[in-house]
Amino acid sequence: MMIDVEDLIALVRNYNPRTNADLIRRAYAYGFKMHDGQMRKSGEPYFTHPVAVAAILTEQRLDDATIVTALLHDTIEDTRSTYSEVAELFGTEVAELVDGVTKLTNLQLSSAQSQQAENFRKLFMAMSKDLRVILVKLADRLHNMRTIKSMKAEKQAQKARETMEIFAPLAGRMGMQWMREELEDLAFRVLNPEARNSIIRRFITLQREAGDVVHKITADIRMELEKVQIEADVYGRAKKPYSIWRKMQEKDLAFSRLSDIYGFRVICGSVADCYRILGVIHGRWRAVPGRFKDYISQPKNNGYRSIHTTVSGRDGKRVEVQIRTREMHEVNEAGVAAHWSYREGVRAVNPFAVDPANWIATLTERFDEGDHDEFLEHVKMEMYSDQVFCFTPKGDVIQLPRGATPLDYAYAIHTRIGNSCVSAKVDGIRVPLWTRLKNGQSVEIITAEGQRPQASWIDIVTTGRAKAAIRKSLREEDRGRFVKLGQELARAAFEHVGKKSSDKALRTAAKMMGLADEVDLLARLGSAEITARRVVEMLYPELARKQADEVDGTRPVVGLSDDQSFRRAPCCQPVPGERIVGITYRGQGVVVHAIDCPALEEFEEQPGRWVDLHWHSGRHAAVHTVSLEITISNDAGVLGRICTLIGEQKANISDLRFTDRKPDYYRLIIDVDLRDVEHLHMVMTALEAETDVAQISRHRDLTRKP
């Protein structure tokens, strides 16, 4: 049944006597007219839905603009109404809000991962413009979930999943715990009705066996407070079925072994009374260690303040007790929405209400614009996480999500501190960086110049900020390495055709390939995304064609006399494309070394033995053996995959020997026959990308003399 306009106005007048009743009447009439003839799946007139959404928002005592937006929230989307018409009739503020809700309605938040991340970004952008948009959207979703039975089964499941994954956690993150619980339970009813019914049945059995536990414990708490003459309201309740189900899943417990399935709330007049009540409760019942949280002295960033403690009550049953003042309770129920709430006819100036602009800033300030997965990971982590409060050595408080490590803490202080972190002390004791932090711990970070983030850190940290900073640093570090490699590969490829790899030539090639600049080109060369041969072919197609001729494998170097034989030095194993030099040996011909080979030091005083050499241009045969040292995880099939990867790069394995065997890893040396330095780079890049390869490097054995 639809609420009459005068009844709706009466609901608003209850908390805001100065309401603009005429504005609400006009919006009601306009919405009624626009939706005339439209029906809901249940068979009711469609306009019953916007009116019900408005009524839900009156329970949160919201301002006129939000109530009017609720009445009109589907007009631009579902009727002939337009933004300009709504702005003309009801003002720009209302039109902007209605437009914001319409855009949110069109977002497919449960779509594919990358699109979901982009839609999440739009959701948060809409929220950052005006948070009331999401308040209307949450009330809209709540009413739709309350009336979901009239939808088709697959649509019910889709809406319920979206509610469980996105809207319920968002309501919780905004501090609207009552809404989170109801949304979760309505979704739970759709997604797992058997589980929900079994919990309700067990509750009924429990009440039959133990009597009304809630009433008994509430009376006990009231009696203890009366003894010390503290005035307070005491409420008790059984927790929602979904909350109990989640605890059973998380802790892998049967219903009979669950402890705190009842929750109690004590609401009093002052902060001083909160701590006195805590003393009374701990004096009467035994506190459960590790289950005490003081969110009064350390509030959550959505404005939530309360003391939580769990005690062993009657018959050893554990119960959770929350203690707070009336003002705190108002904020805890309304969450961020408290900013717009009215109390006794005026906009409430609640000292505990959080500024929505600050709240949204804390949620969005650290999102990486470029990486969809990082964005989504960060948003979901921010929405779901409970908080841990840690102290700096100076006594400042750092707020982190549960499960955070000293590395998360370091990055929360400053990216520079995180990047240069080498170890940490927790409560004065040195701990590993993967230690999970607990409430109230004091953390000190030890840094060192030259320290850089390690790839393994990604798996240690939990916060989006830390993950984004580590990934960025690794990208920059890898880019530097790849640019250096690319320069060497370009130099070798250009030399093959008798040209120099000048900045101008590289810039021209980058432009022809549609890349940003020559640095981007070099980075892609180094990361094996493109080959140096392709760059040369693009700039010098005629020369590249000549170069494609196969080089004689018996005489691949230029600079030897006809009677001089040669061989590659076994210590440095030079390959075509690398700079080389020859050293003459009596009776052995010339031994070819890489120009940076440490073995050349012993010949510095013998310049007469040095021969200036370079590789023939053209395509070399894959006959140049290079030894690679690889560390792989000791798992079934890993070695086979490594050999397959090398084969896929058209390289042949000529020898393989293990140098170290441990329970969790193997270290081995693989001899691979290659064409040139580019071929070597392609093989190493392919192996480096394999997850079971922990380390790979070129093996140079200086004990092997020519």
**Taking the mean position of all CA atoms in its chain, how far away is CA 338?**
28
Q: Whole-model pTM?
A: 0.54
pLDDT band at 372 (very low <50, low <70, confident <90, very high): very low
Higher pLDDT: 117 or 187? It is 187
Displacement of CA 9 from its chain's centroid (Å): 44
CB 269 within 8 A of CB 239: no
pLDDT in tens, 487-540: 888 888 888 777 888 888 899 988 888 888 888 888 888 877 788 888 888 888
Residues 529, 642 within the same domain: no
What does the alpha-carbon distance between residue 156 and residue 162 come to, in Å, rounded to a whole number?
10
Q: Which residue has the tokens 């070695």?
A: 639
Judge whether 387 lies within some domain: no
In a domain, 458, yes or no: no
User: In the 8-state DSSP scheme, what is residue 550?
Assistant: B
To 5 degrees, how large is the angle CA 325–CA 331–CA 333? 100
The answer to the question of residue 374 being in a domain is no
Is residue 396 in some structural domain? Answer: no
Of 59, 77, 224, 690, catalytic:
77
Sequence-distant (6+) residues with CB within 8 A of 79 are 34, 35, 38
For residues 554 and 391, what is the distance between their CA atoms, to the nearest angstrom? 70
Compute the chain's Rg from CA coordinates.
Answer: 35
pLDDT, tens digit, for every residue of 315-338?
667 788 999 998 888 777 776 666
Backbone φ and ψ for 448, nearest 5 degrees, come out as -145, 140
In a domain, 364, yes or no: no
Residues 150 and 293 in one domain: no
651 lies in a domain?
yes
Boundary (domain end) residue, out of 162, 191, 220:
191
Q: Are residues 155 and 43 in the same domain?
A: yes
Active-site annotation holds for 74: no
Q: What percent of the chain has pLDDT over 90?
A: 25
User: Are 205 and 342 within one domain?
Assistant: yes
- State both tokens at 567: 């061989």
pLDDT tens-digit profile of 586-620? 777 899 999 889 889 888 888 889 998 988 877 78
Q: Is the domain of 163 the same as that of 203?
A: no
Q: Name the domain boundary from 321, 347, 373.
A: 347
Query: Cα torsion at 591, 595, 596, 597 (round to 10°)?
Result: 0
Question: What pLDDT is recorded for position 369?
Answer: 45
Lowest mean pLDDT among 45-49, 149-153, 266-270: 149-153
271, 351 contact by CB (below 8 A)? no
CATH code, domain with 692 = 3.30.70.260
- Would residue 660 show up in a list of annotated catalytic residues for this protein? no
Nearest to 591 by CA among 571, 618, 617, 619: 571
43 and 144 both lie in a single domain: yes
Give the domain-ending residue among 347, 382, 400. 347
How does the average pLDDT of the chain come out, rounded?
82
CATH number, position 18: 1.10.3210.10
Position with higher pLDDT, 473 vs 544: 473
Task: Let me know if residue 362 belongs to a domain.
Answer: no
Among the residue ranges 130-144, 246-260, 683-697, the one predicted with the least confidence is 246-260
Same domain? 538 vs 573: no
Number of domains in the chain: 5
157 and 252 inside one domain? no
Q: Which of 450, 529, 703, 496 is nearest to 618 (CA)?
A: 496
Q: Which is the catalytic residue, given 59, 78, 85, 371?
A: 78
Query: Which domain range does residue 685 map to?
Result: 624-698
Within a domain: 363: no
